[in-house]
């Protein structure tokens, strides 16, 4: 037997080492950065990022890119990911599902991506889910919001490769209902996009508000097809129904057009309570400028004035300095995605899919948007995004959030196993 005995001498040595380590403090001997991970991670860490970069929504792609590029530059300037260089490549997702699949296959099969990120449309995200299981690379969704992605595909169908770093429709439907329950408005109506995202959010808003405020009524819905430029017929539908409140998950340019046309039609004079779950987007706020009325409720996936933390303040400053823009929410999710991959790779010491997925599950990430935790069951990032009232501020050439209301993810995110009434808010604990 060649089994090595622990001699008395070894024992003393080990004791001395331990004592020395304790004396020097934990910072010195803990393997960090370059030194620790270098032997394990070979070659660059490659992230294939796809977002909408053409057509009327091309601005979103730009904002994604600004965030992701900034993170990659920072990471590479300070030693990369475990010593390996981080490379990010961008492709136009065009918002069409077949293009998303093509891009994903190109990234993995030809470009040899280790991770994928991006995706704006819920339809694309759902189409991509089974493909991600085949390609077996982690995908971090930075914008698409359908809760079906995490509830169905990740939790029920077990597609563990998918994670989401942005707030899902819970923020748009459930959290909105929590804000709406305290408003002196009983009758609600909506103008929303005529596709999955619009229907889901309105349904969730109705369900949750009915539970929180049983006398709430829903009096009209008008669905605007993708690409609508003339909202006047929809506005007529709403005005005919005479609601107290308007709820709308219109977004980007269509939201800009809708708000302008609502103002012209005098809608904000007769309807005092307006909720825009994705209104706090920089493209919308900058695009509208003064034309955004005061006193509308809005939220998003991140707003640059929240949280009031040094990390966020510094980041917003650096972002503005580099791009001459305030960060849009997709900039923040794109930026934090790179740090999530970095943290997971360094924690697992590998860029292997299985190890990284394991590291990401339940992982805590300190990001400009605050602390995120990737929920183990459905891979959804739990973090807080405020709801707030639009207000003017002489420091900014656009409307900002004045009064803010915080609805935490614990309050408003659906809970696993995503079946039955006890999995949707309000929760007892």
Summarize as ranges the residues that interact with another protein (CB under 8 A). 53-59, 61-63, 194, 221-223, 225, 227, 229-230, 232-234, 236-237, 239-240, 252-253, 256-257, 260-261, 264-266, 283, 286-289, 291
Nearer to another protein, 263 or 309 (CB): 263
Which residue's CB is nearer to another protein, number 71 or number 256?
256
Q: Look up residue 109 and give its DSSP letter.
A: I
Q: Please, which residues have CB within 8 angstroms of residue 248's CB and are 6 or more apart in sequence? A: 190, 191, 192, 255, 258, 274, 275, 276
Closest distance between another protein and the C-beta of residue 279, in Å?
Answer: 14
**Residue owning tokens 């509830």:** 151
For another protein, give the closer residue by CB, 119 or 288: 288
Residue 134 or 236: which CB sits closer to another protein? 236
Lookup result for tokens 């003017």:
392
- How many Cα atoms sit within 13 Å of 200 on the Cβ side? 16
Cβ 324 to another protein, closest distance in Å?
11
Distance CA 330, CA 386 (A): 16
Cβ nearer to another protein, comparing 237 with 411: 237
Cα 165 to Cα 350: distance, rounded to the nearest angstrom? 21
Q: Is 264 helix (H, G, I), strand (E, B) or coil?
A: helix
* Min CB(73)–another protein separation in Å: 20
Identity of the residue, 194 or 376, whose beta carbon is nearer to another protein in the bound complex: 194
Minimum distance, C-beta of residue 230 to another protein, in the bound complex (Å): 5
The span from the CA of 258 to the CA of 238, in Å, is 12
Q: Is the Cβ of residue 92 or residue 361 nearer to another protein in the bound state?
A: 92
CB of 321: closest distance to another protein in angstroms? 18
Region of residue 331 (left: phi > 0; alpha: psi -120 to 50; beta: else): alpha
Question: Number of helices and strands (H, E) in the chain?
Answer: 18, 15
CB of 256 to another protein, least distance (A): 5
DSSP string, 42-108: -S-EEEEEEE--SGGGHHHHHHHHHHHHHHHHHHHHTTTBTTBPEEEEEEE-TT-HHHHHHHHHIII
DSSP string, 324-352: SSPPPHHHHHHHHHHHHHHHHHHHHTS--
Nearer to another protein, 155 or 202 (CB): 202
Q: What is the smallest separation between the CB atom of 291 and another protein, expressed in angstroms?
A: 6
- Distance, in Å, from the CA atom of 137 to the CA atom of 101, rounded to the nearest integer, reads 13
Q: How far is the CB of 61 from another protein (least distance, A)?
A: 7
């Amino acid at each position: 037997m060649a089994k090595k005995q622990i001699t008395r001498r070894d024992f003393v040595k080990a004791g001395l080492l331990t004592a020395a380590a304790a004396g020097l403090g934990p910072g010195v001997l803990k393997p960090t950065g370059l030194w620790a991970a270098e032997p394990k991670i070979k070659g660059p860490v490659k992230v294939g990022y796809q977002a909408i970069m053409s057509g009327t929504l091309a601005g979103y792609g730009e904002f994604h890119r600004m965030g992701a590029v900034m993170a990659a530059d920072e990471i590479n300037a300070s030693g990369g990911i475990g010593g390996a260089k981080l490379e990010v490549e961008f492709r136009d997702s065009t918002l069409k599902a077949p293009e998303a699949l093509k891009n994903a296959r190109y990234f993995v099969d030809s470009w040899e991506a280790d991770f994928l990120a991006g995706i704006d449309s819920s339809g694309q995200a759902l189409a991509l889910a089974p493909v991600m299981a085949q390609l077996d690379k982690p995908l971090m969704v930075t914008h698409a919001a359908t809760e079906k992605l995490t509830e169905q595909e990740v939790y029920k169908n077990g597609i563990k490769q998918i994670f989401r770093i942005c707030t899902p429709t819970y923020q748009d439907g459930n959290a909105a209902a929590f804000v709406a329950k305290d408003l002196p408005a009983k009758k609600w109506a909506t103008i929303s996009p005529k596709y999955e995202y619009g229907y889901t959010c309105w349904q969730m808003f109705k369900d949750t508000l009915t539970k929180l405020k049983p006398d709430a009524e829903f009096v009209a819905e008008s669905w605007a097809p993708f690409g609508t430029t003339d909202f006047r017929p929809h506005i007529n539908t709403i005005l005919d129904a005479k609601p107290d409140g308007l709820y709308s998950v219109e977004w980007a340019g269509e939201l800009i057009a809708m708000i302008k046309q609502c103002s012209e039609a005098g809608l904000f004079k007769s309807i005092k309570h307006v909720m825009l779950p994705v209104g706090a987007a920089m493209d919308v706020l900058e695009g509208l400028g003064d034309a955004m009325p005061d006193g509308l409720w809005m939220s998003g996936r991140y707003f640059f004035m929240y949280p009031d933390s040094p990390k966020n303040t510094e980041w917003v400053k650096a972002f503005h300095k580099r791009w001459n823009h305030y960060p849009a929410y997709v900039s923040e999710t794109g930026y934090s995605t790179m740090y999530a991959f970095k943290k997971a790779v360094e924690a697992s010491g590998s860029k292997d899919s299985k190890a990284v997925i394991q590291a990401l599950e339940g992982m805590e990430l300190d990001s400009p948007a605050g602390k995120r935790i990737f929920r183990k069951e459905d891979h959804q990032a739990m973090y807080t995004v405020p709801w707030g009232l639009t207000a003017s501020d002489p420091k900014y050439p656009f409307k900002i959030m004045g009064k803010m209301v915080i609805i935490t993810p614990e309050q408003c995110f659906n809970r696993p196993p995503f079946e039955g009434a006890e999995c949707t808010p309000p929760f007892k604990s």
